[in-house]
Amino acid sequence: MRLADKICIVTGAASGIGRATAERFAREGALVYAADIAAGPRDEDRVFHRKLDVSDLPAWAGLVEEIDGRHGRVDVLFNCAGFVGSYDSLTEIPLDVWHRIVATNQTGVFYGMRSVIPVMRRAGAGAIVNMSSAWGLIGSAGVAAYQASKGAVTVMTKNAAISYAADGIRVNSVHPGLITTPMTDAQDPEISAELVRQTPLGRAGSAAEVANAVLFLASDEASFITGAQLVVDGGLIVH
Ligand SMILES: NC(=O)c1ccc[n+]([C@@H]2O[C@H](COP(=O)([O-])OP(=O)(O)OC[C@H]3O[C@@H](n4cnc5c(N)ncnc54)[C@H](O)[C@@H]3O)[C@@H](O)[C@H]2O)c1
């Protein structure tokens, strides 16, 4: 039980990596608030689904107030909600699409930390894991808004790690390569095939393999790790 009785929030938890992580956290003894803009499956023993658009700050306040009122703390926040949204380059991407992607992937992570950190500071403890991407560390042609938003998450994580270390709050980011989820199932198969060709381990990863990394960073096993970027990509960006 690596998260015994921890109170956790996981965003983007109705699907893919967020869902796998919420389920894993619960199996490790946590109580999990699984937040998503889409309706989640039915509440289970230790997983409670809540509707949340991460780009809506008042909605965040409502969720954190509910959890703080019930449990008096939030121990773990995993900001996972996000989407690619567009493969366009920065001269091609429609402005409204750019702003939608940034609103969820980047501002959503900012809002999550802004809403939860005061509760963690009061307790003098907390662990935050932010979902970036391999594409938040290296450049690639196209996908301009996604790369910008995930790059921002990489450095926002380090900013928060330094700013709140004295409050006992650890903040780290995860950087998956190609992971098989509904998001990547929906993309052009040629993009996925090319990414597999570039991946030294020669395959896509699974949501469970990312959940393992998030679990480690969220748990007390990572008690001396903050501001780190944990890459989970089968070697994609090692070249
Ligand atoms: N799958 C990959 O290859 C991969 C690689 C690197 C990073 N990521 C990141 O991992 C995260 C999860 O992706 P996934 O592959 O599991 O995709 P997914 O589509 O299976 O799950 C994403 C979830 O986020 C939710 N979501 C989207 N916008 C939201 C919003 N505004 N508020 C709340 N929830 C919202 C969706 O409803 C969905 O349930 C994303 O941030 C993605 O960028 C994925």
Using a 6 Å cutoff on CB, does residue 10 contact ligand 1? no
CATH number of residue 38's parent domain: 3.40.50.720
How far apart, in whole angstroms, are the C-alpha atoms of residue 113 and residue 65? 14
Q: Is residue 128 part of a domain?
A: yes
Q: Is residue 237 part of a domain?
A: no
How does residue 191 score in pLDDT terms, banded at 50, 70 and 90? very high
With contact defined as beta carbons under 8 Å apart, do 130 and 173 qualify?
yes
Q: Which residue has tokens 């395959």?
A: 203
Q: Which pLDDT does position 44 carry in this prediction? A: 85
User: From residue 56, how far is each of 3, 100, 169 by CA, in Å?
Assistant: 28, 12, 24
Average confidence (pLDDT) over 118-132: 98
Give 12 Cα–ligand 1 centroid separation in angstroms. Answer: 6
Among candidates 185, 177, 181, 152, which has minimal Cα distance to 236? Answer: 177
Does residue 91 have a pLDDT over 90? yes
Q: Is residue 238 part of a domain?
A: no
How does residue 122 score in pLDDT terms, banded at 50, 70 and 90? very high
Using a 6 Å cutoff on CB, does residue 68 contact ligand 1? no
Among candidates 213, 217, 169, 212, which has minimal Cα distance to 73? Answer: 169
Q: Which pLDDT does position 43 carry in this prediction? A: 84
Q: What is the largest CA-CA distance in the chain?
A: 49
pLDDT for 20-70, tens place per residue? 999 999 999 999 999 999 988 888 889 999 999 999 999 999 999 999 999
| Three-state SS at 144 | helix
Q: How many domains does the chain have?
A: 1
Among candidates 209, 108, 214, which has minimal Cα distance to 171? Answer: 214
Q: Is residue 171 part of a domain?
A: yes
What positions carry a catalytic annotation?
146
How far apart, in whole angstroms, are the C-alpha atoms of residue 183 and residue 187? 7
Position 31: which residue type? Answer: L
Using a 6 Å cutoff on CB, does residue 53 contact ligand 1? yes
Q: Is residue 1 part of a domain?
A: no
User: From residue 20, how far is each of 93, 152, 176 by CA, in Å?
Assistant: 31, 24, 14
Does residue 185 have a pLDDT over 90? yes
Using a 6 Å cutoff on CB, does residue 198 contact ligand 1? no
User: In terms of C-beta distances under 8 Å and separation of at least 24 residues, what long-range contacts does 182-186 make, across chains too?
Assistant: 182/15, 182/16, 183/15, 183/16, 183/83, 183/84
Does residue 239 have a pLDDT over 90? no
Cα radius of gyration rounded to whole Å, the chain:
17
Domain residues for the domain of 46 are 7-232
Q: Is residue 146 part of a domain?
A: yes
Position 88: which residue type? Answer: D
| Three-state SS at 239 | coil
Q: What is the DSSP string of 114-135?
A: HHHHHHHHHHT-EEEEEE--GG
How far apart, in whole angstroms, are the C-alpha atoms of residue 126 and residue 135? 27
Q: Is residue 2 part of a domain?
A: no
Q: Is residue 239 part of a domain?
A: no
Q: Which pLDDT does position 42 carry in this prediction? A: 83
Give 16 Cα–ligand 1 centroid separation in angstroms. Answer: 7
Geometric angle at alpha carbon 216, from 48 and 107, rounded to 5°: 60
